[in-house]
Amino acid sequence: MKKQFHPYAELGDFLDLLQKSFPQDGERFTNHQICHSLGSMSSSTYADLKKA
């Protein structure tokens, strides 16, 4: 099976790093908080990017 290239793989890695690197009040950002701060990205799109 051929692995499909995902053009936003680096974005997913960056968002995952952002979520883990900057605690907010001692807690990590949730997927919903990351999506809200990015504007129009849905939680499912964000989850797909993190898997890429």
- Mean pLDDT computed over every residue of the chain: 72
Does pLDDT of 51 surpass 50?
A: yes
Which residues 6+ apart lie within 8 Å of 19 measured at CB?
A: 28, 29, 31, 34
Query: What is the rounded end-to-end Cα distance, in angstroms, of the chain?
Result: 16
Does pLDDT of 31 surpass 70?
A: yes
Say if 4 falls within a structural domain.
no
Q: Both tokens of residue 8? A: 């936003």
Say if 3 falls within a structural domain.
no
Does pLDDT of 32 surpass 60?
A: yes
pTM (two decimals)? 0.45
Sorting pLDDT into bands at 50, 70 and 90, what band is 42?
confident
Q: Residue 1 has what pLDDT?
A: 47
- Domain count across the chain: 1
Domain with 26 in it: 9-51
Say if 28 falls within a structural domain.
yes
